């Protein structure tokens, strides 16, 4: 009888070790959305030039190295790597919810886009990027954005950067769909 009880306890302990913890299982379920093969998209125009990115099966991307995704790291950071460069938006929030998020140059210099090796920033007080998250369901965000930015002309001296004309970079028709949020 004693041997049977020891075998039962060992079986229970070993099976418990093979399963995810409850919090890990909940995060995995929230991240996966259970939809499978979800296609994520990002598109916008920069001074009239279209930039488009489509990522099939976006939820299967590596959370540490992805083409289009949003990562919780302090706040939330939406990143994309397109054929024309990089795109980044920082949501300064500890809980991402549907709503409007605006960053202006009066808050301080902030990088948003690298387009054909030209970095675009919110630098002047009139510069801004506005993101509207319209949906956050099943670990995926969707919405739209627009803004006006200034080009970084020279950053050769760490204490002094030169920027181009205020608001000369117009971001229009911005949209993102089914972008996975990685935790």
Per-block average pLDDT, block size 10, for the chain (183 residues)? 48 41 43 68 98 97 95 94 96 95 96 96 97 97 98 83 96 98 93
Q: Quote the pLDDT of residue 36.
A: 65
Q: Quote the pLDDT of residue 182.
A: 95
Measure the CA dihedral 72/115/120/153, to 10°.
Answer: 140
Q: Quote the pLDDT of residue 29.
A: 44
Q: Quote the pLDDT of residue 160.
A: 84
The domain locations on the chain are 37-182
Where are the extended beta strands (E) located within 20-122?
40-46, 49-55, 68-73, 75-82, 85-91, 99-104, 110-115, 118-122
Check the CA dihedral 145-151-156-158 and report its sign.
Answer: negative
Q: Which of 77, 76, 83, 75 is nearest to 43 (CA)?
A: 83
Q: Quote the pLDDT of residue 77.
A: 97
Q: Quote the pLDDT of residue 155.
A: 82
């Amino acid at each position: 009888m004693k041997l049977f009880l020891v075998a039962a306890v060992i079986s229970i302990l070993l099976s418990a070790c093979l399963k995810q913890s409850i919090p890990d299982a909940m995060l995995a379920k929230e991240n996966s959305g259970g939809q499978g093969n979800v296609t994520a998209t990002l598109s916008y125009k920069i001074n009239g030039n279209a930039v488009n990115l489509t990522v099939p099966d976006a939820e299967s991307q590596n959370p540490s190295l992805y083409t289009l995704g949003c990562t919780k790291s302090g706040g939330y950071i939406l990143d994309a790597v397109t054929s024309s460069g990089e795109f980044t938006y920082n949501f300064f929030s500890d809980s991402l919810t549907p709503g409007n998020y605006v960053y202006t140059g009066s808050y301080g210099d902030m990088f948003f886009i690298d387009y054909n090796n030209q970095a675009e920033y919110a630098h002047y007080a009139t510069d801004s990027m506005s993101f509207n998250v319209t949906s956050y369901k099943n670990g995926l965000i969707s919405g739209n954005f627009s803004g006006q930015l200034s080009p970084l002309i020279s950053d050769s001296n760490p204490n002094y950067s030169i920027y181009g004309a205020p608001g000369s970079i117009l971001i229009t028709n911005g949209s993102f769909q089914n972008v996975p949020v990685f935790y």
